Chains A and B, each alone.
Chain A
Amino acid sequence: MIEVRDLRREFTVTTKVGRFRREKRVVRAVDAVAFDVAAGEAVGYVGPNGAGKSTTIKMLTGILVPTSGHVRVCGVEPSRGRRELARRIGVVFGQRSQLWWDLPLRDSFELLRAIYRVPAGDYRSRLRECVELLELGPFLDTPVRQLSLGQRMRGEVTASLLHGPELLVLDEPTIGLDLESKERLREFLADLNANRGTTLLLTTHDLDDIERLCPRLVVIDRGTVLADGALEELRAEVAPERVLVIDLEKPSGELAGLPGVTSSRVELNGLRHHLTFRRADTTAAALISAVATRAEVHDLVVVEPEIDDVVRRLYARR
Chain B
Amino acid sequence: MAESVYAKLVGARLRGQMSYRASFLMQCLAQAVNQLAELAIILVLFNRVSALGGFSVSEVVLMYAIAGTAFGIADLVAGQLDELPTYIRTGTFDVLLLRPLSTLAQMMASDLHLRKVGRIAAGVGALVYALGHNDIAWSVSTAGLVVLAPISGAVIFSAIWVAANAVCFWVVDGQELANTVTYGSNAFTSYPATVFGPWLRRFFAFVVPGAFVAYYPALALLDRPDPLGGPALLGWISPLVAVAAAVLAGLVWRTAVRHYRGTGS
Q: Which A residues fall within an 8 A CB radius of B?
A: 9, 12, 58, 61-67, 79, 82-84, 86-87, 91, 93, 95-98, 100, 102-103, 107, 110-111, 114-117
Query: CA–CA, A65 to B257, complex, Å?
Result: 11
Given contact pairs A111-B8, A114-B8, A115-B100, A58 touches B94 in the complex (Cβ within 8 A): yes
The size of the chain B interface, using a CB distance under 8 A, is 23
Query: CA–CA, A91 to B98, complex, Å?
Result: 8
Pick the residue among B1, B90, B98 that contacts A86 (CB under 8 A): B98
Which residues of chain B have C-beta atoms less than 8 A from A91's C-beta?
Answer: 98
Given A100-B12, A114-B9, 14 additional A-B pairs, CB 8 A: A61-B97, A63-B98, A65-B262, A66-B262, A79-B261, A84-B100, A96-B90, A96-B92, A98-B98, A111-B8, A111-B12, A115-B5, A115-B9, A116-B99
A-B contact pairs, 30 of them (CB 8 A): A12-B265, A61-B97, A62-B97, A62-B98, A63-B261, A65-B261, A65-B262, A66-B262, A79-B261, A83-B100, A84-B100, A86-B99, A95-B91, A96-B92, A96-B94, A96-B95, A98-B95, A98-B98, A103-B15, A107-B12, A110-B8, A114-B4, A114-B5, A114-B8, A115-B5, A115-B9, A115-B99, A115-B100, A116-B100, A117-B1
Q: B263 within 8 Å of A by Cβ?
A: yes
Q: Which B residues fall within an 8 A CB radius of A?
A: 1, 4-5, 8-9, 12, 15-16, 90-92, 94-95, 97-101, 258, 261-263, 265
In the complex, which residue of chain B has the Cβ closest to the Cβ of A11? B262
Least CB distance from A87 to B in Å reads 5
Which residues of chain B have C-beta atoms less than 8 A from A117's C-beta?
Answer: 1, 5
Q: Are A67 and B262 interface neighbours, CB within 8 A?
A: yes
Which residues of chain A have C-beta atoms less than 8 A from B90's C-beta?
Answer: 96
A-B contacts at CB below 8 angstroms, number: 68
Query: CA–CA, A9 to B97, complex, Å?
Result: 18
Which residues of chain B have C-beta atoms less than 8 A from A83's C-beta?
Answer: 100-101
Q: Are B92 and A61 interface neighbours, CB within 8 A?
A: no
In the complex, which residue of chain B has the Cβ closest to the Cβ of A169? B98
Which residues of chain A have C-beta atoms less than 8 A from B94's C-beta?
Answer: 58, 63, 93, 96
